[in-house]
């Protein structure tokens, strides 16, 4: 990577919120396009942060700081990105299941998704099935509904919510992703969720996979 691109990468990786705006502007001034800065520096940096988290080299606070840094960088790039704000990777609705008031895991996932360019509608905590369904039906451009739970006691609520989402008339238009401390891949499959993620970095990867699946399904449906 060139020095300017490397500087952007390092700023996001290290959570340099103070200097990221200046560093991104310098990269733009050096002739790099917004797309190049995003794809060659910012996105790889967030992936590196996720890998370091998995190796226990970074903590939750480090991930949040990097996500905040990238968000500031994206704000600088936005006027230079081709197309419109609708060109994000996808639109996500996220919330913690009814009966669960914990928000830290959900907040981290939301922050990481936003840092990766996704539009995120956060419904908060203690969200009922009706509220998830209403949000999915009201926001017709939704691509992914992410359901979080931290307590084992709320897994039945997650199962009920996913069942209600699966019954939505326009169900084929979006994917369902679940996660949280008590959730397993086996449980996710048993309740007919489309994807499972064990933590925030994996949630971003899962969201990208789901978006690719949606694009292929929509392309096939248009033929």
List the CATH code of the domain at 3-80.
1.10.1240.10
User: How much is the pLDDT for 21?
Assistant: 97
Provide the residue ranges of all domains of the chain, joining segments of one domain with +. 3-80, 88-222
User: How much is the pLDDT for 135?
Assistant: 97
State the CATH class of domain 88-222. Answer: alpha beta
User: How much is the pLDDT for 28?
Assistant: 95
3-state secondary structure of 134: helix
User: How much is the pLDDT for 127?
Assistant: 97
Q: Are 114 and 74 in contact (CB under 8 A)?
A: no
Buried b (16+ CB within 10 A) or exposed e, 137-151: eebeebbbbbbbbbb
CA 152 – CA 201 distance, rounded (Å): 22
Query: Fold match between 3-80 and 88-222?
Result: no
Q: Which residue ranges of the chain lie beneath pLDDT 70? A: 1, 82-87, 223
Q: Please state the pTM of the whole predicted model.
A: 0.75
């Amino acid at each position: 990577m060139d020095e300017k691109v490397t500087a952007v990468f390092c700023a996001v990786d290290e959570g340099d919120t103070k200097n990221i705006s200046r560093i991104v502007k310098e990269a733009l001034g050096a002739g790099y396009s917004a797309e190049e800065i995003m794809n060659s520096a910012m996105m790889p940096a967030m992936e590196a942060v996720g890998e370091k988290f998995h190796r226990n080299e970074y903590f939750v606070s480090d991930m949040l700081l990097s996500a905040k840094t990238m968000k500031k960088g994206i704000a600088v790039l936005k006027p230079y990105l081709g197309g419109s704000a609708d060109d994000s990777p996808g639109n996500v609705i996220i919330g913690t299941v009814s009966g669960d008031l914990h928000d830290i895991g959900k907040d981290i996932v939301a922050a990481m998704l936003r840092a990766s360019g996704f539009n995120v509608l956060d419904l908060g905590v203690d969200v009922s099935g009706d509220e998830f369904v209403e949000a999915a039906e009201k926001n017709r451009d939704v691509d992914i509904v992410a359901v979080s739970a931290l307590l084992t006691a709320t897994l039945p609520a997650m199962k009920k919510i996913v069942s209600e989402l699966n019954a939505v008339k326009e169900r084929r238009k979006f994917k369902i992703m679940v996660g949280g401390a008590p959730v397993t891949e086996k449980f996710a499959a048993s309740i007919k969720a489309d994807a499972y993620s064990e933590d925030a970095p994996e949630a971003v990867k899962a969201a990208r996979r789901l978006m690719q699946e949606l694009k292929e399904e929509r392309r096939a449906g248009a033929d």
